[in-house]
Amino acid sequence: MKIREMQQGDIPAVVEIENQNFREPWTEAIFKEEMAQGTRTYYIAELEDRIIGYMGLIWILDEGHITNVAIDANHQGMGYGRELMTYVANLAFEKGLTSMTLEVRASNARAIHVYESLGFINEGTRPKYYEGREDAYIMWLYKEAWNERTV
């Protein structure tokens, strides 16, 4: 798998993956707005020159906020999401981040398992965060724990 920064031309393929994975998917316009902001970076996972996933990261001082992570439905469960997140975490911590955070649906056991396996810990809940109905867990990954894990 190859990982690189997202380009404008990647947006249609990313939106397809977004639509497969989220109940309230982002549009092309939202991704264009996100990419125009200097504090956000999106990463693409490619397999045989085909986009199979993406991940977004907002850089806020020494913290990173993961906006979205998604893998094409035909490639889920094969470790590509974990590989993408590992790549981005290594890069972000090398560039000076001390922590990364994300929100995940409380019902998304599969994603929670992946995040926990990477060292994320649940540090709180946002009640009714999704569609005003479902709670989100607030998960954090700290550089110290990441470094200990990857030694």
The catalytic site residues sit at: 103, 115
Closest C-alpha among 53, 29, 55 to residue 41: 55
Cβ count within 10 A of residue 82 = 15
Q: What is the DSSP letter of 140?
A: E
Strand order of the β-sheet with 2-5 is 2-5, 40-47, 50-60, 63-71, 99-105, 134-142, 121-130
Q: Which residues of 107-138 are buried (b: 16+ CB within 10 A; e: fewer)?
A: eeeebbebbeebbbeeeeeeeebbeeeebbbb
Let me know how long the chain is.
Answer: 151
